[in-house]
């Protein structure tokens, strides 16, 4: 939670689902300067604990504090402006209890506006690679995504909504938490690591509502975000020896290098822009990066 005074009460109450009473809600305040803490502490429920930390500037540190303080065998994530759907947690825990071969579970989700109006009913339906994954139907709308299929699918799309994830806490202890040094793409960094470790469960129901918020860190500076994505993709490339996988990752790395190149050009940093387009072409030789390089030379 960071400066979410208008949304945090609804977010917390969406987790306090009567169908799943044995829940611990840890509200980690990341240095809010508005009434967020007052709103959260006013929720009269012994299952809710508010923990304040100095502002970290990113989502990783507060999530990691929550993981470290959590006592339950499962950890679920929810941002303070989003909403968990009724029965989501109870259904997910029951599914994970049945399938010990799955390390975590996630669900489809919808996008809503600031006022709660639904903008997009199903986000995952527009991810073509995800729709074509070889999954194993289980029951009640649940599907098992085998580990190898999950790992390869994540090379093309980040189809996992963070607030729809429920993960075994012991697994996070084994592979590590969110990377505090990343302001964005910290979620994909974790999904990559999970994808090399375990299978996953997917629920084809709407598990949560993602609120479109212009203040979100995902809408932050283009160069910073592209730089963070590049770091995560380079790490993932180092985990693969398969040529097709490395070629796909090189495409994504080059796209983010080029994004930095375009931003450098806008800032009149010609040499920096040229260098980034040259790196993009060296990483994934495509004509569009040469065009970008030429554009930086003549601009």
Q: What is the pLDDT of residue 150?
A: 98
Predicted local confidence at residue 221, as pLDDT: 87
Question: 99: Cβ–Cβ under 8 A, 6 or more apart, which residues?
Answer: 138, 144, 201
Q: Which residues, in sequence order, are CB contacts of 294 under 8 Å at separation 6+?
A: none
Stretches in the chain below the pLDDT threshold 50: none
The arrangement of secondary structure in 8-219, i.e. its CATH architecture, is Alpha-Beta Complex (3.90)
* Structural domain boundaries in the chain: 8-219, 222-298
Task: Please write the tens of the pLDDT for every residue from 36-79.
Answer: 999 999 999 999 999 999 999 899 999 999 999 999 999 999 99
Which residue from 6, 74, 60 is spatially nearest to 28, judged by alpha carbons? 60
Going by the DSSP 8-state scheme, the letter that residue 85 receives in this structure is P
């Amino acid at each position: 939670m960071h400066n979410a005074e208008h949304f945090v009460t609804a977010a917390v109450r969406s987790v306090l689902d009567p169908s799943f009473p044995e829940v611990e809600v840890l509200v980690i305040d990341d240095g809010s300067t508005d009434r967020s803490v007052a709103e959260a502490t006013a929720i009269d429920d012994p299952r809710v604990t508010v923990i304040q930390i100095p502002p970290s500037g990113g989502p990783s540190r507060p999530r990691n504090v929550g993981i470290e303080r959590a006592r339950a065998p499962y950890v679920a994530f929810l941002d303070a402006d989003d909403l968990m759907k009724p029965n989501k947690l109870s259904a997910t825990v029951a599914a994970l209890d049945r399938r010990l071969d799955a390390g975590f579970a996630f669900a489809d989700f919808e996008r809503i506006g600031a006022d709660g109006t639904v903008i997009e009913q199903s986000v995952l339906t527009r991810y073509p690679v995800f729709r074509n994954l070889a999954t194993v139907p289980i029951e009640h709308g649940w599907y098992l995504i085998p580990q190898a299929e999950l790992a390869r699918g994540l090379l093309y799309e980040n189809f996992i909504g963070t607030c729809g994830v429920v993960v075994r806490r012991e697994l996070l202890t084994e592979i590590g938490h969110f990377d505090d040094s990343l302001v964005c793409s910290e979620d994909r960094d974790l999904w990559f690591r999970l994808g090399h470790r375990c299978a996953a469960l997917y629920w084809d129901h709407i598990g949560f509502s993602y609120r479109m918020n212009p203040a979100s860190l995902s809408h932050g500076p283009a160069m910073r975000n592209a730089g963070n994505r590049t770091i995560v993709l380079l790490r993932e490339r180092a985990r693969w020896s398969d040529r097709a996988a490395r070629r796909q990752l090189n495409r994504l790395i080059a796209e983010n290098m080029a994004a930095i190149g375009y931003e450098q050009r806008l800032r009149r940093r010609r040499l920096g822009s040229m260098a980034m387009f040259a790196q993009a072409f060296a990483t994934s030789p495509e004509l569009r990066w040469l065009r970008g390089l030429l554009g930086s030379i003549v601009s």
